């Protein structure tokens, strides 16, 4: 087993993605996972983490998990894997524990996370990343790795050596990773996929793969993703794939068993990232003068649900969507 003893990595977030990355990296670098979910911390300390693979096999892992930032050593790398609404706090934590020559990498959903991180750690130490890994928390201490997908990290001038080391480390542990030049492309490429999949799965409480099995839902998913692509085009941003609708459908199939992060939030009664995804698309569309009726529709429904209004059942949702949307 190869171990990079000198590479100290702090992971901010002990949900699905934080624990997944922790379980992958723990035997190859010095890993600390920081979070504040008491039940999860208790379970991880008592029993360790059970990870069920996409093939159904189960493995167990011991993680260095803590709620106390004072116990986290100075780190070469900070992976930010918290919800978008927690980014300000996480960015401040990253600034506290990051070594002067280190980098903080956001692998989050939504718009604006990189900018918040850069304000705290400095633009030269803030790195944009996206990952298509899928993971679902089954309960405290239990995780389903629902699907593999590529991870991309944007190059930052002056940080090429450490980013190359991180990329090689990720690949060594089975996380297919590529360094790319265009951070904006990564941001908007992932936003299109999130906008297509997350709100629909959360509203209807269905796994990702159910979207491609229903004609109406597949068209709504495609339309939401295409609205993002249209905004990106107006902004002069090229997406990291040719067709947003096609790519979103591919991700839906590849992570068919996964319950999206937004659906997991709904299941736990926690705040969602709807404002950083659909809401961000609506705001960006207004700035670019690009209509976003599908994202606006999904955003308003999720906001109504979060405000405590009755959840729409499948039939009610489909009737409302048919009435209010012109779906291609």
Query: Which residue is listed with tokens 């405000």?
Result: 307
Query: Do 175 and 192 reside in the same domain of the chain?
Result: no
Region of residue 270 (phi > 0: left; psi between -120 and 50: alpha; otherwise: beta):
beta
List CB contacts of 309: < 8 A, sequence separation 6 or more.
none
Query: Which residue is listed with tokens 């629902």?
Result: 146
Query: Do 197 and 112 reside in the same domain of the chain?
Result: no
Query: Do 23 and 163 reside in the same domain of the chain?
Result: yes
Query: Do 110 and 130 reside in the same domain of the chain?
Result: yes
Tokens of 198: 């997350």
CB 98 within 8 A of CB 78: yes
Final residue belonging to a domain, choices 123, 154, 181: 181
Q: How far is CA 177 from the centre of its chain?
A: 15
Query: Do 194 and 100 reside in the same domain of the chain?
Result: no
Query: Do 162 and 121 reside in the same domain of the chain?
Result: yes
User: How do 142-147 and 49-52 pair as beta strands?
Assistant: parallel
CB 131 within 8 A of CB 80: no
- Sign of the C-alpha dihedral, residues 283, 284, 286, 291? negative
Please tell me the pTM assigned to this model. 0.89
Final residue belonging to a domain, choices 181, 197, 225: 181
Q: Which of 301, 247, 311 is nearest to 278 (CA)?
A: 301
Query: Do 167 and 193 reside in the same domain of the chain?
Result: no
70: annotated active-site residue: no
Query: Do 169 and 198 reside in the same domain of the chain?
Result: no
Query: Do 285 and 305 reside in the same domain of the chain?
Result: yes
Q: How far apart, in whole angstroms, are the C-alpha atoms of residue 139 and residue 78?
A: 25
State the total domains in the chain.
2
Query: Do 166 and 138 reside in the same domain of the chain?
Result: yes
CB 34 within 8 A of CB 104: no
Rg (CA), the chain: 19
- The CATH number of the domain holding residue 303 is 1.10.1040.10
Q: What pLDDT does residue 328 have?
A: 66
User: How do 58-61 and 49-52 pair as beta strands?
Assistant: antiparallel
Torsion, Cα 38 42 44 46, to 10 degrees, reads 180
Structural domain of residue 226, as residue ranges? 185-324
- The CATH number of the domain holding residue 34 is 3.40.50.720
Single out the catalytic residue among 70, 83, 190, 319: 190
Q: How many CB atoms lie within 10 A of CB 149?
A: 18
Tokens of 135: 């993971």
Please list the ranges in the chain whose pLDDT falls under 50. 1-5
Query: Do 40 and 91 reside in the same domain of the chain?
Result: yes
Instruction: Supply the DSSP string of 190-259, one letter for each residue.
Output: HHHHHHHHHHHHHHHT--GGGGGGSHHHHHHHHHHHHHHHHHHHHTTPPPSSS-HHHHHHHHHHHTTTPP
| pLDDT tens digits along 104-122 | 999 999 999 999 999 999 9
Final residue belonging to a domain, choices 133, 162, 181: 181
Q: What pLDDT does residue 3 have?
A: 42
Query: Do 236 and 308 reside in the same domain of the chain?
Result: yes
Residue 175 CA: distances (Å) to CA of 86, 121, 308: 25, 26, 39
């Amino acid at each position: 087993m190869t171990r990079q003893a000198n590479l100290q990595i702090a992971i901010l977030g002990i949900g699905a993605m934080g624990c997944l990355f922790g379980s992958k990296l723990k035997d190859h670098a010095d890993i600390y996972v920081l979070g504040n979910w008491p039940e999860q911390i208790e379970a991880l300390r008592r029993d360790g983490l059970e990870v069920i693979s996409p093939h159904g096999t189960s493995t167990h892992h011991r993680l260095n998990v803590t709620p106390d930032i004072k116990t986290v050593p100075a780190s070469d790398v900070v992976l930010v894997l918290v919800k978008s609404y927690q980014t300000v706090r996480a960015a401040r934590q990253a600034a506290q524990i990051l070594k002067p020559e280190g980098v903080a990498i956001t692998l989050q959903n939504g718009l604006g996370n990189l900018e918040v991180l850069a304000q705290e750690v400095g633009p030269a130490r803030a790195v944009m990343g996206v990952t298509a890994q899928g993971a679902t928390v089954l309960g405290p201490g239990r995780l389903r790795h629902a699907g593999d997908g590529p991870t991309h990290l944007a190059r930052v001038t002056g940080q090429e050596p450490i980013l190359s080391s991180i990329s090689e480390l990720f690949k060594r542990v089975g996380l297919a990773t590529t360094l790319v030049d265009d951070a904006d492309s990564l941001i908007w490429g992932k936003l299109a996929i999130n906008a297509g999949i997350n709100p629909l799965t959360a509203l209807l409480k269905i796994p990702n793969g159910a979207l491609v099995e229903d004609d109406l839902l597949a068209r709504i998913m495609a339309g939401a993703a295409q609205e993002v692509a249209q905004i990106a085009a107006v902004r002069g941003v090229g997406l990291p794939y040719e067709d947003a609708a096609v790519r979103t459908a591919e991700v839906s199939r590849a992570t068919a068993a996964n319950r999206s992060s937004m659906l997991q939030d709904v299941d736990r009664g926690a705040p969602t990232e709807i404002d950083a995804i659909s809401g961000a698309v609506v705001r960006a569309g207004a700035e670019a003068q690009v209509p976003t009726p599908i994202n606006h529709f999904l955003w308003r429904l999720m906001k109504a649900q979060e405000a405590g209004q009755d959840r729409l059942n499948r039939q009610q949702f489909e009737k409302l969507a048919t009435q209010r949307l012109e779906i291609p």
